[in-house]
């Protein structure tokens, strides 16, 4: 259920796209920096530490790095993008002669490829929520929150080009929904195939791997994209606020 709720936060991005048409780059910058801060702190303070406690220092670090390697492989073979500003679709000398219909079809094709890429990237995030919840409900909730914040810009990235090319809010919402539902599928697969074999060692190893997932997403996607959509200081401020709030949450919980 937590994975489903986190995944469906992409639909919040759709609503933002419908209301504001083009979201403020500064807002996106802060949100993504905030999300990165949340993920980085929870990865080092909770996930890696749990992995080390359940295995050994060396194995915990190895599993942590393995998580980053897995995300790197996925990233290399399955490309996706957060580019959703209007500038991505402006006319150039090469496409000036193309008909509006043809351009719209190209935008739709690109949007569907972005959706596919995001869906595949979201599978490990669903697994992360499932594994975190196995350790404790509080950890599962925190992971789901961090992933949900990360998914809002993804919903915008999917919705804006589809809405601009088709004029259909239903289509844009549907594809945004589809990109997020894969997190629930990831959690479901993890439950069906891995749950029967999980013990303390395997759970610790999986938590360390999930920490690697989170760090890769934060450093390779969230922070670079955050800086590209606004002042670099806003990105860092958002990250620090995210770390502070997550630190307070861990203290309270």
Statement: residue 64 has pLDDT above 90:
yes
Which one is predicted more confidently, 112 or 46?
46
Q: What is the mean pLDDT of residues 35-43?
A: 86
Quote the percentage of the chain above a pLDDT of 70. Answer: 73
3-class SS string, the chain: CHHHHHHCCHHHHHHHHHHHCCCCHHHHHHHHHHHHHHHHHHHHHHHHHHHHHHCCHHHHHHHHHHHHHHHHHHHHHCCCCCCCCHHHHCCCCCCCCCCHHHHHHHHHHHHHHHHHHHHHHHHHHHHHHHHHHHHCHHHHHHHHHHHHHHHHHHHHHHHHHHHHHHCCHHHHHHHHHHHHHHHHHHHHHHHHHCHHHCCHHHHHHHHHHHHHHHHHHHHHHHHHHHHHCCCHHHHHHHHHHHHHHHHHHHHHC
Q: What is the pLDDT of residue 90?
A: 44
Domain locations along the chain = 2-18+49-84+117-252
Give the least confident one: 45-54, 87-96, 232-241: 87-96
Q: What is the pLDDT of residue 239?
A: 92
């Amino acid at each position: 259920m937590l994975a489903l709720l986190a995944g469906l936060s992409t639909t919040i991005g759709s609503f933002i796209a419908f209301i504001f048409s083009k979201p403020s780059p500064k807002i996106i910058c802060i949100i993504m920096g905030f999300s990165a801060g949340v993920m980085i702190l929870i990865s080092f303070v909770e996930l890696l530490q749990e992995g080390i406690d359940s295995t050994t220092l060396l194995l915990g670090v190895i599993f942590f790095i393995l998580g980053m390697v897995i995300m790197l492989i996925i990233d290399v073979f399955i490309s996706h993008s957060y580019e959703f500003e209007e500038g991505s679709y402006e006319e150039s000398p090469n496409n000036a002669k193309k008909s509006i219909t043809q351009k719209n079809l190209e935008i739709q094709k690109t949007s569907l490829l972005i959706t596919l890429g995001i869906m595949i990237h979201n599978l490990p995030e669903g697994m992360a929520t499932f594994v975190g919840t196995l350790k404790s409900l509080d950890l599962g909730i925190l992971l789901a929150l961090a992933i949900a914040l990360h998914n809002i810009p993804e919903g915008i990235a999917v919705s804006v080009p589809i809405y601009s090319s088709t004029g259909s809010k239903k289509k844009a919402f549907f594809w945004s929904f589809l990109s997020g539902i894969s997190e629930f599928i990831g959690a479901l697969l993890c439950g069906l195939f891995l749950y029967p074999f999980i013990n303390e060692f395997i759970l610790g190893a999986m938590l360390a791997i999930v920490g690697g997932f989170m760090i890769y997403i934060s450093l390779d996607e969230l922070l670079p994209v955050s800086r590209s959509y606004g002042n670099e200081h806003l990105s860092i401020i958002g990250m620090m606020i995210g770390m502070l709030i997550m630190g307070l949450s861990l203290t309270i919980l």
